[in-house]
Amino acid sequence: MANAAAKDGQDPQLASQGITFAVLPFENRIDQLLVTPCLPGSASSSPSTTSTSGGGSTSVPSAPGGAPTTPPTTATGKLPALGWNSWNAYQGNINEAKVLAAANQFISLGLKDAGYQYINIDDCWANMARNSSSQRMVPDATKFPNGISGLASQIHALGLKIGIYSDAGTNTCAGYPGSLGYESIDASTFSEWGIDYLKYGEPNKSISPRNIADACYFLFIDNCNVPSNWTDNYNPPGGDWYNSNSAIRYRQMGAALATQSRPIQFSLCIWGNANVWDWGARVGHSWRMSGDSSATWSYITSIINTNVAHISAVKYGAHNDMDMMEIGNGALTVQEQRTHFAAWVFLKSPILLGTDLSKLSSAQLDIIKNKELLAFHQDATVGTPAIPFTPYSGAPTTSPQEYFSGTSSKGTHVFIINTSSSSATKQFIFSNVPGLGTSGSFKVHDMWSGSDLSGTYTASSSFSASVAAHDTVAYLVTKV
């Protein structure tokens, strides 16, 4: 049974107990969300609850009251992370060999040289029970025979960094121990093991207004294990979601990480709940904007829309996370994979590769190693992302928007997505591009091919290019 389950990406430890979980396409997961009318005054007020995580019974502290306000460390997380994460490729079926293989492929495939740095272990790495005396999480010795610290040493020896997963509930979605009530123990354990990056999941029952105009309606996202007194079922105190129970669960881990000597990048996997874009930068370095990604065009377009709606939250040390990459998974066309990568680049999302790297084709490697796009993403002097602009008066409205511009230390960039399902001619007037001004002449450089286009243009010139269906072109425009 475990072997059959492992083929489906199931966790062998859970599968041997007959526990499997569905990895659903994005659309299906959206269908699981129920819109429910709000019930004023329905917030639970129970003072505490009991967790059985770790095999012992521990009192979980009540929210809120005296919650920490520690900001994230500035010693890491200035730039959006570049790395790999085990979840999209393997879900729960992970082990040291697979994680080390990814690290070695970072070297052999030139990904480390291109700037990729983090090798992140997702859920299902621990034993179901904490150590009964120390209350520490215990790595599953079958999957990780050298422990997490032994693996961390090997990854550090390759000049890379290592990340791990826990979550802000009593248990993870897959049922492993969560960190709620154990933040200090877990933060110091991770630091001692040599962890550089913590992905901290949103396990449950967080209720927040999301994409709904009527604030009296809420989406109930109910997947796992948060005690009822830690959820948000009505507006938080003062209407400030920083003071919501959801935020406080993350603030507690943020504060615990801040007391460690080791800088640990803090990634809030909160699924766009609790208006995280309003307060995420006060707690961590990046925050997930949605439920899980899928290798579909509809996921790519929907997450671009979500990010653009909250684009002003993105700056150095603060990044909207569009979730892990799907290049190498599913049936995205080459053009769609280019848009997937380019959009994560120009919106400055963390880019965590999510596939078995040995299966990437040379065309896929060319996309994810593109030097000029990665340089925009990792720019040392400009931290803000590209934003939408109107290319010419009367341009049609599309969803998502198709024209984006941003600046880097090299100059002004224009990114154009063709959202239609057939090839189309895309145009812009140079003076419409923010920052280019209304005079002078310009040359255009193709960031994908690394070559200059012929000719020069004036501010009133119209540039046009044929763009394949679902493709994205990327240009650097400079004055001549």
Annotated catalytic residues are 222, 292
Q: How many CA atoms lie less than 13 Å away from 36 in the CB half-sphere?
A: 17
In whole angstroms, give the CA distance from residue 314 to residue 300: 18
Q: Applying CB under 6 A, which part among 41-49, 57-65, 169-177, 311-319 lies near ligand GAL?
A: 169-177
Residue whose CB is less far from ligand GAL, 200 or 442:
200
Supply the minimum distance, in Å, between the C-beta of residue 163 and ligand GAL: 11
3-state SS assignment for residue 375: helix
In whole angstroms, give the CA distance from residue 417 to residue 465: 11
Task: List binders of ligand GAL among 101-130 (CB under 6 A).
Answer: 122-123
- The torsion angles phi and psi of 335, rounded to 5 degrees, stand at -65, -40
Q: Applying CB under 6 A, which part among 61-69, 167-175, 383-391, 417-425 lies near ligand GAL?
A: 167-175
Residue whose CB is less far from ligand GAL, 165 or 404:
165
Supply the minimum distance, in Å, between the C-beta of residue 137 and ligand GAL: 15
Judge contact between 339 and 300, C-beta under 8 A: yes
Q: Applying CB under 6 A, which part among 60-68, 102-110, 166-174, 429-437 lies near ligand GAL?
A: 166-174
Residue whose CB is less far from ligand GAL, 271 or 430:
271
Residue whose CB is less far from ligand GAL, 33 or 215:
33
Residue whose CB is less far from ligand GAL, 292 or 446:
292
Judge contact between 294 and 354, C-beta under 8 A: no
Residue whose CB is less far from ligand GAL, 54 or 201:
201
- The torsion angles phi and psi of 277, rounded to 5 degrees, stand at -60, -20
**Could you say which of 99, 173, 257, 477 contacts ligand GAL (CB under 6 A)?**
173
**Could you say which of 120, 171, 172, 472 contacts ligand GAL (CB under 6 A)?**
172
Residue type at 216? C
292 binds ligand GAL (CB under 6 A): yes
Give Rg (Cα) of the chain: 23
Residue whose CB is less far from ligand GAL, 173 or 207:
173
End-to-end CA distance of the chain: 66
201 binds ligand GAL (CB under 6 A): yes
Q: Applying CB under 6 A, which part among 149-157, 165-173, 307-315, 394-402 lies near ligand GAL?
A: 165-173
DSSP 88-147: HHHTT---HHHHHHHHHHHHHTTHHHHT--EEE--S--B-SS--TTT----B-TTT-TTH
Supply the minimum distance, in Å, between the C-beta of residue 126 and ligand GAL: 12
Residues 311-331 as b/e (b if ≥16 CB within 10 A, e otherwise) read: bebbebbbbbbbbbbbbbbee
Supply the minimum distance, in Å, between the C-beta of residue 87 and ligand GAL: 5
| Closest C-alpha among 433, 326, 340 to residue 386 | 433
Site string for ligand GAL, 48-67 (x = CB under 6 A): --------------------
Task: List binders of ligand GAL among 421-460 (CB under 6 A).
Answer: none
Supply the minimum distance, in Å, between the C-beta of residue 124 and ligand GAL: 7
Q: Applying CB under 6 A, which part among 8-16, 168-176, 246-254, 366-374 lies near ligand GAL?
A: 168-176
Site string for ligand GAL, 77-106 (x = CB under 6 A): ----------x-------------------
Cβ-closest position to ligand GAL: 123
Q: Applying CB under 6 A, which part among 105-113, 171-179, 236-244, 408-416 lies near ligand GAL?
A: 171-179
253 binds ligand GAL (CB under 6 A): no
Residues 209-246 as b/e (b if ≥16 CB within 10 A, e otherwise) read: bbeeeeeeebbebebbbbbebbbbbebbeeeebbbbbb
Residue whose CB is less far from ligand GAL, 166 or 412:
166
Judge contact between 53 and 171, C-beta under 8 A: yes
Task: List binders of ligand GAL among 362-421 (CB under 6 A).
Answer: none
Supply the minimum distance, in Å, between the C-beta of residue 120 and ligand GAL: 10
| Closest C-alpha among 208, 218, 202, 321 to residue 265 | 321
Residues 91-112 as b/e (b if ≥16 CB within 10 A, e otherwise) read: bbbbbbeebbbbbbbbeebebb
Judge contact between 454 and 413, C-beta under 8 A: no
Judge contact between 164 and 120, C-beta under 8 A: yes
**Could you say which of 14, 15, 81, 174 contacts ligand GAL (CB under 6 A)?**
174
**Dihedral angle sign, alpha carbons of residues 438, 402, 407, 372:** negative
| CA 220, chain centre distance (Å) | 21
Which parts of this chain interact with ligand GAL (CB under 6 A)? 87, 122-123, 165, 172-174, 201, 269, 292
